[in-house]
Homo-oligomer: A and B are copies of this chain.
Amino acid sequence: MSPPLVPRLIRHEHVHILTQRFSTGPTVNKKSPARRAPTESDVAKLAGVSQSAVSRSFTPGASVAESTRKKILQAAQTLGYHPNLMARSLATRRSNIFALAISDLENPFYAQVVKELSERLRETGRHILLFVSNPDRSADPDLERVLSYQVDALILTATTASIELALQCQKAGIPIVQINRESRVPGISTIRGENQKAGHRIADFMAAAGHKRIGFIGGTRDSGTSRVRQEAFVSRLAELGISDVQVRYGDYTFEGAAVATRELLSQDRPVDALFCASDYMAFAALDVAKREFSKHIPDDLSIVGYDDVPEAAHAVYDLTTYSQPAAAMVEEAIKVIDLMIENPGRRAQRREVRGELIVRGTAKVPTAGVVTKHGKKIWHP
**Interchain CA distance A317-B284 in the complex, whole Å:** 12
Count the copies. 2
Smallest CB separation, A149 vs chain B (Å): 5
* Minimum Cβ distance to chain B for residue A36 (Å): 8
Contact assessment for B315 and A316 in the assembled complex, using a CB-CB cutoff below 8 Å: no
In the complex, the chain B residue whose C-beta lies closest to that of A95 is: B86
Q: Does A145 count as interface, using CB distance less than 8 angstroms? A: yes
List of B residues within 8 angstroms of A111 by Cβ = 105-106, 108, 111
- What mask results when residues 1 to 40 of chain A are scored 1 for a CB within 8 Å of chain B, else 0? 0000001000000111111101111011111101111000
Chain A, range 72-108, C-beta contacts under 8 Å to B: 80, 82-87, 89-90, 93, 95, 97, 100, 105-106, 108
Specify which chain B residues have a CB less than 8 angstroms from the CB of A63 in the assembled complex.
Answer: none
- Chain A contact residues: over half helix, strand or loop, or mixed? mixed
Beta-carbon contact of A171 and B14 below 8 Å:
no
Q: Are B34 and A173 in contact (CB under 8 A)?
A: yes
The interface-forming segment of A112-120, A262-270, A300-308 is: A112-120
A290 shortest CB reach to chain B, Å? 6
Known: A314-B287, A350-B17. A173 touches B24 (CB 8 A): no
Contacts from A to B (Cβ < 8 Å) = 7, 14-20, 22-25, 27-32, 34-37, 80, 82-87, 89-90, 93, 95, 97, 100, 105-106, 108, 111-112, 114-115, 118-119, 122, 127-132, 142, 145, 147-150, 167-168, 170-173, 186-187, 254, 283-284, 286-288, 290-291, 310, 314-317, 328, 332, 344-345, 347-354
In the complex, besides A15-B328, A15-B351, A25-B186, 11 extra interface pairs with C-beta distance below 8 angstroms are A7-B350, A14-B354, A29-B345, A35-B173, A86-B150, A90-B90, A105-B111, A106-B115, A118-B131, A122-B132, A127-B129
8 closest cross-chain pairs (CB), A and B: A34-B173, A32-B345, A291-B315, A118-B132, A16-B352, A32-B344, A18-B350, A128-B130
